[in-house]
Structure 1
Amino acid sequence: MNLSQTPIAIAVATTQTTCPYCGVGCGVSASMKDDGNIAVKGDELHPANKGRLCVKGSALGETVDLDGRLLHPKMRGADGQMRRVAWNDALDAVASKFSSIIAEHGPDAVALYVSGQLLTEDYYIANKLMKGYVGSANIDTNSRLCMSSAVAGHKRAFGEDLVPVCYEDLELADMVVLVGSNAAWCHPILFQRIAKIKETRPHARLVVIDPRRTATCELADLHLPVKAGTDVWLFNGLMSYLAHRGARDNAFIDAHTNGLNEALAVADADCADPATVARICKVDLEDLLAFYQAFAETEKVVTGFSMGVNQSSAGTDKVNSIINCHLLTGRIGKPGMGPFSITGQPNAMGGREVGGLANMLAAHMDLDNALHRDIVQGFWASPRMADKVGLKAVDLFREIEAGRVKAVWVMATNPMVSLPDADLVQRALQRCELVVSSDVIEQTDTNAFAHVLLPALAWGEKDGTVTNSERRISRQRAFLTAPGEARADWRIICDVAQRMGFNGFDFDGPHQIFDEHARLSAHRNGDADPTKARRVLNLSGLTGMDKKGYDAMQPIQWPVQLLSDGSAAGTARVLEDLRFTHADGRARFVPTAPRGPANLACEEFPLVLNTGRVRDHWHTMTRTGKSATLASHIPEAFIDIHPQDALLYGVREGGLARVSSRWGAMVARVQHGGGIPRGSVFVPIHWNNQSASDARVGALVNPVVDPVSGEPEFKHTPVAIEEFRVSWHGFILTRHALALDDITHWTRVQGRDFTRYELAGRSHIADHSGWARRLLGVNDLDADWLEYEDLTDGSYRAVHVVDDRIDMCLFMSARPDLPSRSWLSGLFAKDRLEEADRVGLLVGQPIEKGADTGPTVCSCFGVGRNTICNAIREKGLKEVGEVTACLKAGGNCGSCVPEIKKLLVEIRVTAAV
Structure 2
Amino acid sequence: MADNPNTNEVPVPPTDAERSVRSCRYCIVGCGYEVYKWPVGEEGSPSADENALEIDYPGGYGEWPSPNMHQIIKEDGQEYHVLFVPDDDYPVNEGGSHSIRGGTQAQSLYTPNNEDYDDRLEQPKIRIGGDLVPVDWETAIEAWARATEIATDGGSDPNGYGQKLFFYQFVENTFAGTKLCFDVIGSPNWGGHNRPALTPECPGMVNAGLSEWSYAYEDAAEADTMVIAGADPKENQDVIFSKWIDEQGDPDIVFIDPRRKFTANYAENNGGIHLQVDEATDPILLNAIARHIVDQGWHDEEFIDEWVMSDRETIDEEGWYQEEFGMTPEEYYDLLDDSRYDPENAAETTGVPADDIRTAAELIAQPDADETNTLFMLEKGLIWGWSHENTGAMANLALITGSLGRPGTGITRGGGHQEGFWTPGVEGDVIAERSTQTFDGENVDDVTIPPNTVERVRNGEISHWHVIGNDPARQSYATQDLRNALRERTGGPQPQTADIDEIERAFRERIENGGMVLTHQELYPNTTTQFADIVLPARAVESGEGGDYHRWNGERRFRQYQGFMDGPAGAKEDWEIFSLMGQRLGADDMDWDGPREIFTEICEEHAGAGGEHSLQGIADAAAANDVTPAEYMETVEDGVQMPTYEEGGEVQGTPRVHAPDGEREVTDHRFHTSTGEAILQRVDWDRVVDPDEGLTIGDVYDRLSPEGDEIWVTNGRLQHLWQNMYTHQRLEYIQKRFKRNVLQLHPVDAEERGIEAGDLVEVVNGDVFDLRGENTEGSFTAVAYVVDEDDAIQGQPVPEGVAYTYWLYPEQVNNDINPAYLDPANPNPGYKYGKGEIRRLGESEVKDEMSFKPMNVAPE
In which range does the TM-score fall when normalised by the shorter chain? 0.7 to 0.9
- 3-state SS of the aligned residue for 2:152? helix
In the alignment, which of 383, 399, 419 is matched to residue 327 of structure 1? 399
- 3-state SS of the aligned residue for 2:601? helix
In the alignment, which of 222, 230, 234 is matched to residue 281 of structure 2? 230
- 3-state SS of the aligned residue for 2:550? strand
Say if 1:899 and 1:719 are closer, same or farther in 2 by CA, change over 3 A.
closer
Superposed displacement of residue 215, structure 1: 2.2
- 3-state SS of the aligned residue for 2:337? helix
Match of 1:479? 564
Say if 1:2 and 1:556 are closer, same or farther in 2 by CA, change over 3 A.
same
Match of 1:115? 166
Paired with 1:587 and 1:509, the residues of 2 have a C-alpha distance of 41
In the alignment, which of 90, 99, 115 is matched to residue 46 of structure 1? 90
Match of 1:132? 183
Match of 2:656? 573
| Mapping of residues 146-295 of structure 1, within 5 Å | 150-158=201-209, 161-197=211-247, 204-221=251-268, 222-258=273-309, 259-295=328-364
Superposed displacement of residue 96, structure 1: 2.2
The residue type paired with residue 639 of structure 1 is L
Paired with 1:77 and 1:177, the residues of 2 have a C-alpha distance of 51
- 1:392-441 CA distances to partner (integer Å, 9 max, x unpaired)? 3xxx2232232210101111111122112112332333314321111111
In the alignment, which of 471, 474, 483 is matched to residue 417 of structure 1? 474
Match of 1:378? none
The residue type paired with residue 87 of structure 1 is W
Superposed displacement of residue 4, structure 1: 7.9
The residue type paired with residue 92 of structure 2 is A
Report whether the alignment pairs 1:671 with 2:785.
Answer: yes
- 1:830-885 CA distances to partner (integer Å, 9 max, x unpaired)? xxxxxxxxxxxxxxxxxxxxxxxxx59xxxxxxxx9xxxxxxxxxxxxxxxxxxxx
Match of 1:686? 808
Superposed displacement of residue 642, structure 1: 0.8
Match of 1:722? 839
Paired with 1:390 and 1:485, the residues of 2 have a C-alpha distance of 36
- 1:124-150 CA distances to partner (integer Å, 9 max, x unpaired)? 111112112211121211243899664
Paired with 1:191 and 1:147, the residues of 2 have a C-alpha distance of 31
- 3-state SS of the aligned residue for 1:636? coil
Match of 2:611? 535
Superposed displacement of residue 281, structure 1: 1.4
Match of 2:739? 635
Paired with 2:415 and 2:249, the residues of 1 have a C-alpha distance of 26
In the alignment, which of 51, 55, 59 is matched to residue 104 of structure 2? 59
The residue type paired with residue 452 of structure 1 is I
The residue type paired with residue 804 of structure 2 is F
CA contact (8 A) 2:256 2:277 kept: yes
Superposed displacement of residue 46, structure 1: 2.4
Report whether the alignment pairs 1:450 with 2:532.
Answer: yes
Paired with 1:86 and 1:550, the residues of 2 have a C-alpha distance of 36
CA contact (8 A) 1:333 1:577 kept: yes
CA contact (8 A) 1:147 1:310 kept: no
- 1:536-558 CA distances to partner (integer Å, 9 max, x unpaired)? 33221112552422444431111
- 3-state SS of the aligned residue for 2:818? coil
Say if 1:368 and 1:103 are closer, same or farther in 2 by CA, change over 3 A.
closer
- 3-state SS of the aligned residue for 2:291? helix
Superposed displacement of residue 388, structure 1: 6.0
The residue type paired with residue 461 of structure 1 is E
- 1:315-370 CA distances to partner (integer Å, 9 max, x unpaired)? 222111111111112111111112111111222xx22x538xxxx867xx787789
Superposed displacement of residue 77, structure 1: 4.0
Say if 1:145 and 1:403 are closer, same or farther in 2 by CA, change over 3 A.
closer
CA contact (8 A) 2:126 2:140 kept: no
Say if 1:489 and 1:216 are closer, same or farther in 2 by CA, change over 3 A.
same
Match of 2:411? 339
The residue type paired with residue 456 of structure 1 is A
The residue type paired with residue 108 of structure 2 is T
Between the two proteins, what is the percent identity of the paired residues?
22
- 1:14-39 CA distances to partner (integer Å, 9 max, x unpaired)? 32112121211222222247572532
Match of 1:886? none
- 1:779-809 CA distances to partner (integer Å, 9 max, x unpaired)? xxxxxxxxxxxxxxxxxxxxxxxxxxxxxxx
Paired with 2:151 and 2:724, the residues of 1 have a C-alpha distance of 31
Paired with 1:250 and 1:361, the residues of 2 have a C-alpha distance of 40
CA contact (8 A) 2:126 2:135 kept: no
- 1:626-656 CA distances to partner (integer Å, 9 max, x unpaired)? 2222112222111111111112233222212
Report whether the alignment pairs 1:461 with 2:533.
Answer: no
Aligned length: 692
Paired with 2:293 and 2:631, the residues of 1 have a C-alpha distance of 53
CA contact (8 A) 1:75 1:453 kept: yes
In the alignment, which of 459, 463, 473 is matched to residue 406 of structure 1? 463
Paired with 1:569 and 1:497, the residues of 2 have a C-alpha distance of 35
Paired with 2:535 and 2:781, the residues of 1 have a C-alpha distance of 30
Match of 2:688? none
CA contact (8 A) 1:150 1:341 kept: no
- 3-state SS of the aligned residue for 1:157? coil
Paired with 2:197 and 2:289, the residues of 1 have a C-alpha distance of 25
Superposed displacement of residue 273, structure 1: 2.0
Paired with 2:185 and 2:365, the residues of 1 have a C-alpha distance of 52
Match of 1:87? 137
Of residues 11-20 and 671-680 in structure 1, the stretch that sits farther from structure 2 once superposed is: 11-20
CA contact (8 A) 2:204 2:393 kept: no
| Mapping of residues 429-828 of structure 1, within 5 Å | 429-430=486-487, 431-432=489-490, 433-441=516-524, 443-458=525-540, 459-462=543-546, 463-522=548-607, 535-543=611-619, 544=623, 546=628, 547-554=630-637, 555-563=639-647, 565-577=648-660, 579-594=670-685, 595-596=697-698, 598=701, 599-604=703-708, 606-662=710-766, 663-673=777-787, 674-689=796-811, 695-725=812-842, 730=845, 758=846, 816=847, 818=848, 820=849
- 3-state SS of the aligned residue for 2:734? helix
| Mapping of residues 347-358 of structure 1, within 5 Å | 347=419, 350-351=420-421, 353-354=422-423
Say if 1:366 and 1:109 are closer, same or farther in 2 by CA, change over 3 A.
closer
Match of 2:383? 310
Say if 1:324 and 1:77 are closer, same or farther in 2 by CA, change over 3 A.
closer
Say if 1:41 and 1:5 are closer, same or farther in 2 by CA, change over 3 A.
closer
Superposed displacement of residue 566, structure 1: 1.5
Say if 1:645 and 1:145 are closer, same or farther in 2 by CA, change over 3 A.
farther
Paired with 1:76 and 1:366, the residues of 2 have a C-alpha distance of 34
TM-score by length of 2: 0.76
The residue type paired with residue 373 of structure 2 is K
Paired with 1:681 and 1:323, the residues of 2 have a C-alpha distance of 29
TM-score by length of 1: 0.71
Paired with 2:718 and 2:708, the residues of 1 have a C-alpha distance of 29
Say if 1:230 and 1:3 are closer, same or farther in 2 by CA, change over 3 A.
farther
CA contact (8 A) 2:191 2:197 kept: no
Taking only aligned residues, the RMSD between alpha carbons, in angstroms, comes to: 2.9
The residue type paired with residue 684 of structure 1 is Y
- 3-state SS of the aligned residue for 1:629? helix
Paired with 2:823 and 2:733, the residues of 1 have a C-alpha distance of 37
Say if 1:317 and 1:201 are closer, same or farther in 2 by CA, change over 3 A.
closer
- 3-state SS of the aligned residue for 1:665? strand
Match of 2:122? 72
Can you give the 5+ residue segments of structure 1 that lack an aligned partner in the other structure? 371-386, 526-533, 690-694, 731-757, 759-815, 822-854, 857-864, 866-897, 906-913
Paired with 1:446 and 1:141, the residues of 2 have a C-alpha distance of 15
Match of 1:888? none
Paired with 2:587 and 2:671, the residues of 1 have a C-alpha distance of 37
The residue type paired with residue 378 of structure 2 is F
CA contact (8 A) 2:545 2:567 kept: yes
